[in-house]
Amino acid sequence: MTGKHRKNPLFLSLRTTGGLVAGAAVVGTIAATAAHASTGEPTAAKPSAASMRLADAAKAENTLSFAKKAAPREVANKPEAAQAKGAEKPAARTKVPTAAQAIKMATSQVGVSEDGGGRTKFQQWYMGTDRAKQTLARDGGSLGEYAAAEWCDMFVSWVGQQVGFTDQFGSDAWTVAHAKWFQQQGRWGTAPKPGAIVFFSWGGGKSLDDIQHVGMVIQDNGDGTIKTVEGNTGGGAVEVKTRPSSTVVGYGYPDYSK
């Protein structure tokens, strides 16, 4: 039996198992935190009155200089320190990633699976993002419910964040809304391109409202099937799968580097 992702309620108490897992998904960006520094000074002989005045002047100048420099550094470090436990720090984006780089990141997670409570690092990561608050406001529920929620779209979102491409991967808590976002961006279609975000309906429906699961295309096999990498599938893990194209509703296309 498979479970369909619905907007309300967002979180289903019934989890799905077996070869086909329909998972509601969440997409998102990382939350922020603050930097921390400690200082110390050596013990010295008691200075003269003149040297103390010079030292006080130097200290005041250094304090002003530090104040000017510390605030920008704190702001710059803030987004990465509040990452949820277990989430890797993304590499700084120096250029637009290729589809091959995104696929490599996704397949590097093959074998990552849920613990006994249905939890993974992908849910933990998502809970630490600002996007989680936005999707909660839209769909209802509480932040803690994401901890053991269906996570196929959280996985896709995590991959996008890791390669520095969230603006192209999108960010959402619901597979249907994620697909609609791609459509609104003018990056939606029916061709199975490598690195495309693929949305499934196990019953073969072609409406975006029929979507039940999401993954990433590795390749078009040319025989009516596609090779994919997906989270929250099989026994609740990241796996490489072969899927019939008849179960595909459509594809979202990040604008990768060629």
What does the pLDDT look like over 103-148, one tens digit per residue? 999 999 999 999 999 999 999 999 999 999 999 999 999 999 999 9
pTM for the model: 0.67
Laid out side by side, the sheet with 213-220 consists of 188-189, 248-252, 197-200, 213-220, 225-233, 237-244
User: Higher-confidence residue: 35 or 226?
Assistant: 226
Domains and CATH numbers, the chain: 83-252 (3.90.1720.10)
Return all residues near 222 (Cβ < 8 A) that are at least 6 apart: none
25-53 per-position pLDDT tens digit: 333 333 333 233 222 333 333 444 444 44
